[in-house]
Amino acid sequence: MEFLRSEIVVEQKSIITICLDLPRLLAARGTVRKGHLTPSQLPADAKVADLIDIDSGWWNVYLLERCFLPFEAQKIKSVPLCLTPQEDTLVWPKSKDGQYSVKLGYQLLCAKENSGSASGSTNEVNRKMWSSLWRMKVPNKVKTFAWRACTESLPTLENLARRKVVISNSCTSCKREPKSVIHALWGCEKVKAAWGTNFDELRNAINQALSFVDLFRLVLQNPRGAEGFIMQQRLKPATKKLPRNVIWKPPDAGLLKTNFDGAVFEDLGEAGIGAVVQNSSSEVLAALSEIIPLPSSIVAPETIATRWATLFVRELGLSGSMLEGDSEEAIMAIKNQHCQHPLVGHLVKDIVSSVSTLQYSSFSHTRRQGNVFVHALA
């Protein structure tokens, strides 16, 4: 996503530090257009901090609605702010932990290169094909071999003759055609027996594939058959795993458990959060339900629900509580204190700060079946 030019709208750096930047907040470069902001309300050198009410620590709703279009103001209000003072943090937005890696940098450069190519539709088709190949549940060496076959990188006689390594490119087995990749792996009469009868329907459906990559694209129309194709064997039928019966378990005697959850209502542009505090006798001591603007990511409502749950426990004057939710990503981010998470790092800091005042606390993950009560509340 391209960043807005600094002369168009507010700068990224904020006096009141919040872990976000305005370009990502507004979701697109064209969201705020030059001349749309009211000069009397927002100066040319305005910062993100100018959009925040200092007393409440939340967005200045009146200012947002005066200076932005309704859908723009809604996008801004959906970004959760931190509740504790935090320093600005540099994060890599394309990773789960906010850390840069060479792999992610390479992917970004490839995406930028592909986006500027004239043959965008062709690149998109190829991207989906390679993604399907690398996601297959087969040994990596098999996927690598299939990739080399699709890119005509195997040392067949045709390729070797093209590079002047050998003189003749004729297939030494059938002596009928040049030994290309498609001929060596699929078309030669001598190799057909290796495929058996598992792919007779595929062979009958096509008269002649121009290249191995054309054949592979046809195979990918049935993803499960594609795995068997590159493994040259019929895969065993998948056995349906029965879901485990997960039930809510009360805490030990003398302890409390707080379950929390977040629900997304995309059609309404809202999200719901809920929390329930129960004791060892499964009695409900308190419950919380709230509607918030829809955040931009799935993990955000779950993490916001966690923050509300911890604050709820504190406001009730409880000494502590076990906290349990059904979002594994949110729970892992909190347990590992991933404060540089590009989406919820500032929320994790709030949660860590909040539970530090409790006498006891713990975070655990449960399946949806063990969280149905609070999910209905959210």
HEC profile of 146-211: HHHHHCCCCCCHHHHHHCCCCCCCECCCCCCCECCHHHHHHHCHHHHHHHCCCCHHHHHHCCCCCC
Which pLDDT value is given to residue 24?
43
CA distances from 142 to 82, 136, 139, 202, 209 (A): 47, 10, 5, 20, 21
Q: Which two tokens stand for residue 66?
A: 């005066």
DSSP 233: S
Q: CA 120: distance to chain centroid?
A: 23
Instruction: Give the DSSP H/E element, type plus range, for residue 67.
Output: helix 61-67
Distance CA 141, CA 153 (A): 14
Burial 153-182 (b: 16+ CB within 10 A, else e): ebebbbbbbeeeeeeebebeeeeeeebbbb
Q: Which two tokens stand for residue 345?
A: 């790092």
pLDDT tens for the chain, 378 residues long, are 333 333 333 333 333 333 444 444 444 334 444 444 444 467 778 888 889 888 888 898 888 888 888 888 888 888 888 888 888 878 887 777 778 888 888 888 877 776 655 444 566 778 888 888 888 888 888 889 989 988 888 999 988 988 888 888 888 888 888 888 888 888 888 887 777 766 777 776 665 557 888 888 888 876 556 766 767 544 444 455 555 677 889 999 999 999 999 988 888 888 899 999 999 999 999 999 999 888 877 778 889 999 999 999 999 999 999 999 998 888 888 888 877 777 788 898 999 999 999 999 999 999 888 888 888 887
Distance CA 102, CA 95 (A): 11
Pairing between strand 284-293 and 360-365?
Answer: unpaired
Which pLDDT value is given to residue 123?
67
Which pLDDT value is given to residue 6?
33
Determine the CATH number of domain 257-377. 3.30.420.10
CA dihedral 20, 23, 28, 30 (to 10 degrees): 150
DSSP 237: P
* Strand arrangement, sheet containing 360-365: 284-293, 270-278, 257-265, 320-325, 360-365
User: Which single residue is written with the structure tokens 């329907």?
Assistant: 201
Judge if pTM exceeds 0.75: no
Which pLDDT value is given to residue 322?
94
Give start-end residues of each CATH 3.30.420.10 domain in the chain: 257-377
Which pLDDT value is given to residue 118?
46
